[in-house]
Each structure stands twice: as C-alpha cells, then as structure tokens.
C-alpha cells in the first residue's frame, strides 16, 4: 500500500481523484495548493504526488521545484494533471522539473490508473479500474441489466469527454442528466445550474419529472431540494429508513433519493439529485462515490464553460507568446504564467503601475470593479480610478515613497474613494507595495470594494436600533432554547424584564390553552422548514392571557448547524376584539342589531339541510313596513329609524326559539320559521306579525300608524335552496304591494312565471330602440260630420327578434315601471312628427297625429322640451300634433302638469284627455286644464248599445264635453249599432275596428290616398207611414214562422237571433214594436225588454212565453217592463191583433227615438 498526495485548488477535482483512487488500497492525502502540499510531504513522505499547475498561494510548478530542491523529497514521483496548457507545453514544463507523467483534464479513469501504476514502479501490482475488484465473468446467457463498475466508469469517462468541449448550458445539462440516469440507474434526475452570481437559475434539466413542479422551490434553501446548496455533503435518504425529506407539492412518490450541491472551493454552481434507484431499494456507498465524481466532472466542465470566453481571449495571446519564445528560459515562462494566473484568478483588484503612475497591469477583478477593460487602462494614469477626494492622500503617499524609497511605503491598509468608468464612486480598501525590476520601480495596488461591507455594517447598526425601538416583541434564544436577549417591546407586552427571563425557556409564557400536540407541530416545522408562523395564546407576568401573532425562525452557522432561534411577535388583543365586533357587524344590521341578509342566508341554508334530513317544512316570511317613506319625508329619518327599531322589538317578542328575525335593509324584514308543520300555523304567525306592526307607535309627540305587507314561501313546496325561497317570498311580497298592501300572500308558480317573463321583457326592451324593433301603427279617427278621416292616433308596437310580437299591455307598464318610458316616449313623439311631416311632403292632406304621453314623462317635466325639439327637428307645424294624457296624470302634482300643458298650448299643440270616466274624474280639473278633446273610453263604448249605464255615462260625457266646447271622440267602435248610437247622441269623432284597425305608416298612407270614408247612419225617418217590427228568437224556425205571419201587414220586419243582436238592431234602426221570446240563450226575454225600456222607452215591448213562464211574465207586466205577453203556441189572429194594437199604443204618438239626456 502506497501513500498518494492529490494537490488541486478545486475541491471537485480532488473529489474526483479521491473517489477514483478510493477503489485502490492506497492511502490518500489531499492539499488545496503547493504550500499545503509541501507541509504534507514533510510530514507524510508520500510515494506519489498528483498535482494541478495553476493554483493560488503556490502553483504546482513552484511546488515541484521546491520539492526537487529538498534532498529527502527530490526523488518523489510526480504526475502533472492540468487543463490550462496544451500537451506540448505541459510536457515541456514537466521535463524542466523532472516530471515524467502528464495528464490532461479531463482524463479517462484508466489513463489515470495507468499513470499511477507507472509512477509507483514495477514492484507495485498493476492497478486497473475495478469492477468489484475483479474483471467481469464470462458473458452469461442473458446480459446483465445493471451496469457494473467498469461500464459505469466508462460512461463517466465518456461523459467527461463530451462535457469537456461543451459550451452550451442546456446541452451540457441534457447530456449530464442522461449520463447520470444511466450510471446511477435512476428513474428521476434533476439538475439545477445557477448563474455566475449564484443567485438565479441558469438552467433546470429533469428526467422523469415535470420541471414546472420544481420551479417555485429551486432556490428555496429552507426545504428540499434547495437545501442541498447549504451543505458540502451528499444527502442520501431511503424510505426504508423513514427519513425521506418533504418533497415539493406534486412531486412523484419516491422510495429513495440522493443529492448534493455542485460546487468547488470557491463557487457554488447549483445542485442535483437522483431518485428511484432501479433494481435496488436504496442507493449505496458506491452510488454515492459515483455521484461525487459526476458532480466533480460537472463542476469542472461548467466552470470551464463559464471561463471559456476569457480563456479563449488570453489563450490566443499566450499561444503567440509561447510560439515567439518557445526556446526562452523555462523558469521565466513559468514565473510569468504563475503571476498571471494568480493575479487573474485573485478576487481582489490588482493593478500594476510604473514610476510615472501609468497602468501596466489590470486584472479581471479590476475590470469588474472599475468597468474598464485592461486594454482601455494600459498606459493610462492610475489616478483616473480615484475620486478627487482621495487624490491628496495618494499624492502624499507617493511623495513619501520617492523620498524614502521604502519597499512597502504604505505600511498599512487604507481606505480610498474609487471612481468607476460611469462616474460612480465607491469605498475600497487599498494596500500598496513597490518592487524594483531591472532598476525600475513597479507599484502593485491591491483594492477590495468594501461598499457592501459598509452597507452591512450600517444595516447591523440599524438592526440594533430596530431591535430596541420596534413595537413588535423580539426574543432570541440559543440552540438549547434558552433566552439570550429580548427587546423593550417584549418587556412591555409580557411584564417581564430582560434580567428576569435571561437563561429561561420561553415556555414560561405558556397560557395553558394549547396542548402538547400544538407545540410538537411548532418544533416539527422549525426542524423541517426552519420557521413557524401563526397565532398563539401566551400569559403575561400578571397572569393575563393574551393572543399574539408570532413568527419563529431558525438561525444556522456556516456549518449549517442550529445556533439560535429568533421570534418576532405582536400583541393582537385589540385586533381580535375589533375582528369580533366586525364579525358581528358583518352579520347584523347596525340599526336594529338583527341578523342581516348574510346571516339570514346562512341560517336559511342550515335550516334547509336540517329539514331535508328530518323531513320537516320551513316558512320564509318577507315583510315590508308600509308607508315608511312618508314618515321619513314628513318627520325625518331619525323618526323613521326609531320606528324600525320599535318594529324589530315588537316582532322579536313573537319569534320562538330556533326561528330567525332579520332586517334586510330599509323597510324590509324577514322571518324564518323552522317549525312550520302546516300552512295554518304560518297564517297564524303572519297575522300575529301584522297585528304587532299595526299597533300605534308613539313617536315625535304623536301616534304613528303603519301596516305590514307579507310575502311567504314554503320549503320544500316553493324551492329547495335559500335563493329560491328568498325569490319566491319576494315575488309574493310584490303581489301584496300590487294588491293594495296590508295583507299577506303565499308564493305560487304563476307569480314566478310572471316575474321571469317581466324580467325577460325588460332585458329585451332595453335594446328595442337601438335594434329598431319599435314601430308606430296609426289608427284613423273619422269625423261623424262627413265620414272622412280627420286625424289619427299613433300607437306603439314592439316586434322583438327573440320574443315576437309583444302586446302593448305587457311592455307599456314595464316601460313605465323601469323608467324606459322616457327614452321610448321621446322616440315616439319624434317619430310621429317625422312620419306626419313625411306624409304631408308626399302630397297627402295635412292631418293631426295624436301621441300618448305617460305620467313619468310629465313627472320628469321634459314634455314641452321634447315636443319643441321634435317639431324643430322634423319641421312639423304644431297644430298637426296632439298630446294625449290620462286623468291619472292630472291627479298627481296638478300644478306641475298644468304648467307643461299651458306651455304646449302656447306652442299650438292640441291637448286631448284620454280614457275619461275610468279614473277619479274631476270636473274641477276639466275646468282648470286647457283641453281640446275628450275621449270616451272603449269600456263604455263596448256596451253602449246593451248596458243602459254605459249608454248614460257616454251621453253624459258627450254633453259635458260639448258644454265645455271640447271635441268628443269615441274609442273602440266596432259595430254599426255603436256607430249609430254615438252618431245619434252627437259624438264628433270615432276610431275603432269598424273603420280600420291600427295600420303601419305605408298602409295608412294608402288608405288616405283612396280617400276612404265611413258610411254614416241615416238621421231622418224615412218618408211614409211604414212602421218597424223587431222579432227576437234564438230558434230560426220560430223567426221564419213569425215573419210569414206579419209579412202582409206592410211593416218593416227586422229579425234577431239573440238579445245582443236585437240591441245592435235597436241602435241602428228606429224600432216601433219589439216582440221577443222569453227563453233564449244569454239574456232572457224579460231581461232584454227591461234594457229596451231604459234605452228606448217609446218602443212597445211584447213578450212570447210558455205556460211555465207565466208567473214571471205576469210580474214583468206589473212592473211595466212589457206592455203585454202572449203564450205559446200562439193564436195567429190573437197575435196579429196584439201587434196591430201595439202600433196604435200611445207611446207611438211620438217618434220612437232613443232616450237622450
């Protein structure tokens, strides 16, 4: 067994040789430079030395020269192992100092073994790369799946060769991972390479795992795999031992792993780990040795790659120097090489200058420090690198040297202010020395940038100030958790002084609220992640328990050993109290302190879940306090708020345990009943609630009365979710409000369907104008003076692209409710004016167009401005526009409406009152407002020929309008009888389907061009004594028989198959005698003749009835409803005589015109 000394300044290179030679029985020593190697040689007398050449302190060349100068060590065999020089140069240097074997870096393992055997001599046994210390056996029938040591070493050598020339980090990482997976038989390989600053990831390469899983933790040294960078040792773990580290989230499950940092003595290049060893449950020592060799190979290759550019630049220069001075003195060449290697690899800036202070040497560290290249600085004055503030001291030192010619004229390290190329100044430590070369002084300036150190010192000073002045409590303990320091905030928070707690364990603050598992979890987090954060309850010196938010961190020394613990905590008692109050306010109404909508929804959901499991019912009552807004307006919001508080108190008194009363905002409350076995119980509760609300409230010195409107939904009948029940109860509440308030309604599906349709209509209506879905139809108004068209009314129609034709009765109220009536109404006015002007420009006779204006438009106060703008934009004369309004508009804010109507009249626009008689008609309003027309609503016109009351109202309306000199227009005229009756009572105009339905603009234009007119009823009695007899029977055979009986009498005979048809004929003709059957579908004979008596009292009324109806007929005769009745079957002569007598009845002395007022 021999002793072999390995000398290399890079730990990775030494690790590689130590691992390789570890398979041999030799004793191995290692040194980082030539100086250490000489000491080891003196003590251990090695049999062989393997050394690098370029090293700090003492390079390999000088080391070998000194070794050869020692008589006792001069014959020690040496192998040069270097990557700096070419093989010819390496052999020349070796020959000059008596070295026989040279090896380039990297070298294959067998070449290294051969060189070792050669130098140790023939007496030593020839050493080869072992494979379990023996060559592999004869090839078996089945080749082995797991590679032996020979194959692995061969793969390692192949990798070394491939990495040596590689200059791309990604390719290098890919080649390395592939080789590592093959050599170590691992399914998972991960390699992370850092940049030159060791602070950011240069490249991440993986095998068997998605690199995205690792990206968040690549540089996290508190956990795996980033923690590999903190150690120089190999981390080897196996699930069988139960010590696998915590893997990042999403990492595939592994049973074994092995990893380490990729580094040398000076630099950290990254980390790598392998996992899932194939064919084995754990990685063994041999695997660990190969991992070290792989890491060493990679470190060398990666460093070579990073230095490639610099080496390339200087290699060319050195090559030229070597070629020019090939036969020069070897010692001088080696010395120069040593000097350059040392200066270029030195971490400090080294600047050489001559006696004139001009730069003759500028190393790489100086380039990095000042920003100049060596080429830029050569020949430049060194003062270029100094701040103006440092120049006087520098000149003084130079003058002192020139006076004393001392070799080291500085005598100490001084500080100076340097100046970079960009003008930035920095603080540096400077050491100066001088030497004579060929009689000329050469100055060497060594500089170290201490800006970071000064900043660190300042940070430490500030940290000390922060430690003492921060409001957060800081505690420091040693590795055994004994307190070594606390700050003033700790003393204030806990009541303990620093002297009292020094040397104590922080457990003296334990409150007793946490169990041992809680503290075990804290220690587990500190041991695995190096930190713990959370909330904890501690106890002050006075015994008070208080909450803290605390952060504990582990402090480690350079050897990664725990040396201290630091905790930073804040007393969050006030914050906890504020959170408690905030939690209450976030779930309760601040006015009534009742649960708000959030808490109601939570409780409703919980109640639904309980009812679902228990099979019970729930009831949700939404109720509004009616007329609260009036109280707010009259007495102020303070009184309104007090009223709400009183309502909350009252209703709370009837709430049973388990139920919830909530205030949802404004005047809206909700009551959740969790015990509602049937609807009757819910009704009882609703009535109790309404009774409580209806009791008078004494506020502001008076009794206030309010009522409640209640909407109710039931679980599971009306919905199975909180949202569904709330919506259902709200829909039911809306129906209560629409029905007059002060009541309760249960939710029904029809309500929901109506609400959904209402919502859908609103959504589509909002886009109707821009999509041009609205159109105006026009219904002609006909003058009863000549039957010609005298105007038209514009009627809004909506044809939706999605919903089709929507009835006005559906979307007009929606537009009113949503406020859309304002833009729609403005469009209607402008479009009607535009179309009317277009008709006039097309040559049609000028006519007035009437447009309906809603209450919302008048309430907005913009009607005159909108009309004025429309007339101006279209050029229509004001007299051809008519504005229609309803009675209800005049009832609300009459003064405001009257002012707008006066302004419209002043423009020349006519005003029409629509639907008169359907609302709260007021004769006072008719006299106050400036009106031009009065329209009889179609509800009266529809029954004018059959309902005496409707006829009377129509006649009274016409008489009233004519008395006020207003034009009377009847709407909805559909029959000849209605026309005749209206014409007879003096109506001025009519509009309705009898003449024309509402028409699009083009069809109305065609109608006007045709000059279509309405045939009017005759107003005079035809000449001659001919009289009219009206026969009424719903059996056609009876009518034909009666007609045959009277056909020779010379009378005009009219036939009606029903009472309704008879009333129409009476309205259209002057009937003298009516003969009606008693039994008919619809109105009976006596009912018909009773109406005839009121409408046409001069018409003689005869009744035909059977024997079963004699009593009723007799009673009708007594009351004067009929003049006479006859029985069926009738006697023809008796019937003829009776009708003849009727024509001679005294009532026929006057013309049988309809009754008028």
Do residues 164 and 92 both lie within one domain?
no
Contacts of 984 (CB under 8 A, 6+ apart): 1017, 1019, 1153, 1154, 1156
Whole-number mean pLDDT of the chain? 85
How far is it, in rounded angstroms, from Cα 683 to Cα 688?
9
DSSP three-state, residue 417: strand
The DSSP output letter for 213 is G
12-26, 144-158, 710-724 — most confident range: 710-724
Confidence grade of residue 38 (pLDDT, cut at 50, 70, 90): very high
Where is pLDDT greater, at 278 or 83?
278
Mean pLDDT for 810-822 is 84
On the question of pLDDT at 259 being above 90, the answer is: yes
Angle at which helices 285-324 and 149-164 cross, to 10°: 40
Confidence grade of residue 921 (pLDDT, cut at 50, 70, 90): low
Residue 674, domain CATH: 3.30.70.270
**89 found inside a domain:** yes
**767 found inside a domain:** no
Q: HSE-up of 291 (CA within 13 Å, CB side)?
A: 29
Beta bridge partners of 103: 81
Do residues 859 and 1006 both lie within one domain?
yes
Where is pLDDT greater, at 594 or 398?
594
Confidence grade of residue 503 (pLDDT, cut at 50, 70, 90): very high
On the question of pLDDT at 337 being above 80, the answer is: no
On the question of pLDDT at 140 being above 70, the answer is: no
Q: Which of 215-224, 562-571, 813-822, 1143-1152 is predicted with the least confidence, judged by mean pLDDT?
A: 1143-1152
**328 found inside a domain:** no
Residue 371, pLDDT score: 92
Mean pLDDT for 508-537 is 93
DSSP 627-691: THHHHHHHH-HHHHHHHHHHHHHHHHTTPPTT-EEEEEETTEEEEEES---SHHHHHHHHHHHHH
Strands annotated E in 227-367: 235-238, 256-263, 268-277, 349-353, 359-362
Cβ neighbours around 949 below 10 Å, total: 10
Percentage of residues of the chain with pLDDT beyond 70? 90
How far is it, in rounded angstroms, from Cα 231 to Cα 559?
8
Where is pLDDT greater, at 456 or 693?
693
From residue 744, give the alpha-carbon distance in Å to each of 673, 699, 722.
16, 26, 20
How far is it, in rounded angstroms, from Cα 306 to Cα 592?
74
Do residues 893 and 949 both lie within one domain?
yes
Do residues 980 and 862 both lie within one domain?
yes
Contacts of 55 (CB under 8 A, 6+ apart): 7, 8, 9, 32, 33, 34
> Residue written as tokens 């070597």?
322
Residue 233, domain CATH: 3.30.450.40
Residue 997, domain CATH: 3.20.20.450
Residue 776, pLDDT score: 94
The last residue of one of the domains, among 311, 329, 362, is: 311
**138 found inside a domain:** no
Do residues 933 and 1033 both lie within one domain?
no
pLDDT in tens, 466-480: 777 788 899 999 999
Q: Which domain holds residue 290?
A: 149-311
Q: Which of 109-123, 366-380, 958-972 is predicted with the least confidence, judged by mean pLDDT?
A: 109-123
Residue 1155, pLDDT score: 41
pLDDT in tens, 628-669: 888 888 888 999 999 999 999 999 999 998 899 999 988 999
On the question of pLDDT at 797 being above 90, the answer is: yes
**384 found inside a domain:** yes
Residue 344, pLDDT score: 72
Confidence grade of residue 144 (pLDDT, cut at 50, 70, 90): very low
Do residues 122 and 14 both lie within one domain?
yes
**1023 found inside a domain:** no
DSSP three-state, residue 394: helix
Residue 476, domain CATH: 3.30.450.20
Would you put residue 992 in left (φ > 0), alpha (ψ -120 to 50) or beta? left
β-strand 359-362 against 349-353: which pairing, if any? antiparallel
Q: HSE-up of 497 (CA within 13 Å, CB side)?
A: 2
Do residues 117 and 155 both lie within one domain?
no
Do residues 981 and 841 both lie within one domain?
yes
Q: 223, 205 in Cβ contact below 8 A?
A: no
Mean pLDDT for 537-545 is 92
Do residues 440 and 478 both lie within one domain?
no
The last residue of one of the domains, among 953, 981, 1010, is: 1010
Do residues 78 and 194 both lie within one domain?
no
On the question of pLDDT at 156 being above 60, the answer is: yes
The last residue of one of the domains, among 449, 475, 491, is: 449
How far is it, in rounded angstroms, from Cα 979 to Cα 990?
8
**802 found inside a domain:** no
Q: HSE-up of 498 (CA within 13 Å, CB side)?
A: 12
Burial class for 1068, CB neighbours closer than 10 Å (0-12, 13-18, 19+): buried
> Using CA of residue 529, residue 531, residue 535, residue 538, what is the dihedral sign?
positive
Confidence grade of residue 1147 (pLDDT, cut at 50, 70, 90): low
**736 found inside a domain:** yes
Residue 329, pLDDT score: 53
The DSSP output letter for 1017 is P
Residue 1137, domain CATH: 3.40.50.2300
The DSSP output letter for 955 is H
Contacts of 818 (CB under 8 A, 6+ apart): 762, 765
Q: 419, 386 in Cβ contact below 8 A?
A: yes
Q: Which has the closest alpha carbon to 874: 836, 826, 825, 824?
A: 836
Mean pLDDT for 223-234 is 90
Separation of CA 464 from chain center? 44
How far is it, in rounded angstroms, from Cα 1067 to Cα 1061?
10
Residue 709, pLDDT score: 93
Where is pLDDT greater, at 1138 or 835?
835
Domain count, the chain: 7
Mean pLDDT for 813-820 is 82
Do residues 1130 and 1038 both lie within one domain?
yes
Q: Is the pTM of this model over 0.85?
A: no
Mean pLDDT for 232-248 is 88
Q: Which has the closest alpha carbon to 159: 306, 18, 290, 265?
A: 290
H helix or E strand, kind and range, residue 910: strand 910-916
Separation of CA 1029 from chain center? 83
CA torsion 958-963-966-972 (nearest 10°) is 0
DSSP three-state, residue 920: coil
Phi and psi angles of residue 592, each rounded to the nearest 5 degrees, phi first: -100, -10
On the question of pLDDT at 866 being above 60, the answer is: yes
Residue 405, pLDDT score: 63
Do residues 1001 and 909 both lie within one domain?
yes
Percentage of residues of the chain with pLDDT beyond 90? 36
């Amino acid at each position: 067994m021999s002793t072999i000394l390995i000398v290399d300044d890079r730990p990775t290179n030494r690790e590689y040789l130590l691992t390789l030679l570890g398979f041999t029985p030799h004793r191995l020593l290692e040194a980082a430079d030539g100086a250490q190697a000489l000491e080891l040689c003196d003590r251990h007398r090695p049999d062989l030395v393997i050394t690098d050449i370029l090293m700090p302190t003492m390079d390999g060349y000088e080391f070998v020269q000194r070794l050869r100068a020692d008589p006792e060590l001069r014959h020690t065999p040496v192998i040069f192992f270097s990557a700096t020089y070419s093989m010819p140069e390496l052999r020349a240097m070796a020959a000059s100092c008596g070295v026989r074997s040279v090896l380039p870096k990297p070298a294959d393992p067998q070449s290294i073994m051969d060189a070792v055997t050669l130098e140790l001599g023939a007496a030593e046994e020839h050493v080869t790369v072992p494979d379990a210390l023996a060559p592999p056996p004869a090839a078996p029938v089945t080749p082995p799946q797991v590679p032996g040591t020979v194959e692995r070493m061969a793969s390692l050598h192949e990798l070394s060769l491939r990495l040596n020339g590689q200059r791309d980090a990604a390719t290098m990482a890919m080649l390395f991972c592939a080789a590592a997976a093959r050599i170590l038989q691992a399914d998972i390989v991960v390699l992370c390479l850092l940049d030159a600053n060791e602070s950011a990831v240069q490249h991440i390469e993986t095998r068997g795992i998605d690199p995205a899983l690792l990206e968040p933790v690549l540089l996290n040294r508190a956990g795996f795999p980033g923690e590999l960078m903190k150690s120089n040792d190999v981390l080897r773990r196996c699930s069988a031992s139960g010590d696998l580290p915590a893997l990042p989230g999403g990492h595939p499950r592994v049973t074994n792993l092995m990893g380490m940092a990729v580094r040398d003595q000076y630099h950290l290049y990254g980390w790598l780990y392998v996992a899932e060893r194939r064919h084995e449950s754990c990685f063994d020592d041999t695997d660990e040795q190969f991992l070290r060799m792989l890491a060493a190979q990679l470190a060398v290759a990666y460093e070579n790659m990073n230095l490639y550019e610099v080496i390339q630049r200087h290699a060319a220069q050195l090559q030229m120097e070597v070629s020019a001075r090939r036969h020069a003195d070897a010692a001088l060449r080696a010395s120069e090489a040593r000097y350059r290697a040392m200066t270029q690899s030195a971490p400090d800036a080294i600047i050489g200058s001559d006696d004139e202070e001009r730069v003759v040497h500028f190393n790489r560290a100086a380039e990095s420090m000042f920003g100049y290249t060596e080429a830029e600085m050569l020949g430049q004055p060194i003062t270029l690198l100094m701040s103006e503030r440092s120049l006087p001291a520098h000149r003084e030192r130079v003058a002192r040297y020139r006076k004393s010619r001392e070799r080291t004229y500085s005598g100490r390290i001084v500080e100076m202010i340097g100046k970079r190329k960009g003008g930035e100044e920095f603080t540096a430590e400077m050491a100066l020395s001088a030497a004579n070369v060929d009689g000329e002084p050469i100055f060497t300036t060594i500089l170290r940038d201490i800006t970071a150190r000064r900043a660190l010192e300042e940070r430490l000073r500030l940290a000390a100030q922060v430690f003492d002045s921060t409001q957060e409590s800081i505690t420091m303990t040693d590795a055994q958790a004994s307190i070594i320091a606390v700050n003033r905030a700790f003393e204030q928070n806990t009541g303990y002084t620093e002297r009292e707690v020094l040397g104590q364990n922080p457990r003296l603050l334990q409150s007793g609220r946490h169990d041992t598992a809680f503290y075990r979890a804290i220690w587990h987090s500190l041991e695995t992640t190096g930190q713990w954060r959370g909330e904890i309850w501690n106890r002050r010196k006075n015994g008070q328990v208080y909450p803290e938010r605390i952060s504990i961190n582990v402090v480690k020394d350079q050897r990664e050993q725990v040396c201290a613990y630091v905790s930073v905590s804040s007393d969050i008692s006030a914050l906890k109290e504020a959170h408690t109050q905030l939690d209450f306010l976030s779930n309760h109404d601040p006015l009534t302190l009742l649960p708000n909508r959030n808490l109601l929804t939570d409780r409703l959901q919980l109640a639904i879940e309980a009812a679902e499991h228990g099979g019970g019912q729930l009831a949700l009552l939404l109720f509004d306090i009616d007329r609260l807004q009036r109280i707010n307006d009259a007495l102020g919001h303070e009184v309104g708020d007090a009223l709400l508080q009183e309502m909350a108190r009252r209703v709370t008194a009837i709430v049973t345990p388990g139920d919830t009363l909530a205030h949802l905002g404004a005047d809206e409350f909700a009551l959740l009943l969790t015990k509602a076995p049937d609807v009757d119980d819910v009704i009882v509760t609703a009535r109790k609630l309404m009774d409580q609300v209806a009791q008078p409230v004494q506020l502001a010195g008076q009794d206030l009365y309010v009522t409640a409107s209640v909407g109710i939904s039931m679980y599971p009948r009306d919905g199975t979710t909180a949202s569904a029940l709330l919506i259902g109860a709200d829909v039911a509440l809306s129906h209560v409000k629409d029905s007059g308030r002060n009541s309760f309604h249960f939710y029904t599906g029809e309500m929901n369907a109506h609400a959904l349709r209402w919502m859908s209509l609103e959504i589509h209506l909002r886009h109707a104008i821009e999509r041009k879905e609205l159109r105006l139809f026009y219904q002609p108004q006909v003058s009863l003076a000549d039957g010609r068209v005298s105007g038209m009314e514009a009627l809004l129609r909506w044809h939706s692209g999605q919903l089709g034709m929507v009835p006005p009765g559906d979307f007009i109220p929606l537009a009113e409710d949503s406020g859309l009536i304002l833009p729609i109404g403005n469009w209607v006015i402008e479009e009607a004016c535009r179309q009317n002007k277009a008709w006039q420009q097309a040559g049609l006779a000028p006519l007035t167009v009437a447009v309906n204006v809603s209450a919302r438009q008048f309430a907005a106060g913009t009607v005159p401005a909108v009309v004025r703008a429309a007339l101006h934009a279209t050029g229509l004369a004001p007299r051809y526009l008519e504005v229609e309004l309803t009675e209800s508009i005049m009832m609300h804010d009459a003064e405001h409406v009257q002012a707008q109507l006066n302004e419209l009249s002043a423009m020349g626009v006519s005003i029409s009152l629509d639907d008169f008689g359907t609302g709260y008609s007021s004769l006072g309003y008719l006299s106050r407002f400036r009106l031009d027309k009065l329209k009889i609503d179609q509800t009266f016109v529809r029954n004018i020929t059959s309902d005496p009351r409707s006829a009377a109202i129509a006649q009274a309306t016409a008489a009233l309008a004519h008395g006020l000199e207003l034009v009377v227009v009847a709407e909805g005229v559909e029959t000849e009888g209605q026309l005749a009756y209206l014409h007879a009572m003096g109506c001025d105009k009519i509009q309705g389907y009898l003449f024309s339905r509402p028409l699009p603009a083009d069809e109305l234009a065609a109608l006007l061009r045709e000059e279509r007119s309405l045939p009017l009823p005759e107003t005079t009695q035809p000449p001659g004594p001919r009289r009219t007899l009206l026969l009424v029977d719903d059996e056609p055979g009876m009518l034909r028989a009666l007609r045959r009986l009277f056909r020779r009498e010379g009378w005009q005979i009219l036939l009606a198959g029903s009472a309704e048809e008879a009333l129409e004929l009476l309205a259209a003709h002057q009937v003298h005698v009516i003969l009606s059957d008693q039994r008919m579908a619809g109105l009976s004979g006596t009912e018909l003749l009773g109406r005839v008596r009121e409408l046409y009292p001069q018409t003689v009324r005869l009744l035909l009835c059977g024997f079963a109806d004699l009593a009723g007929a007799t009673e009708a005769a007594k009351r004067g409803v009929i003049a006479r009745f006859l029985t069926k079957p009738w006697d023809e002569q008796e019937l003829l005589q009776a009708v003849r007598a009727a024509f001679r009845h005294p009532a026929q002395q006057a013309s049988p015109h309809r009754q008028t007022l």
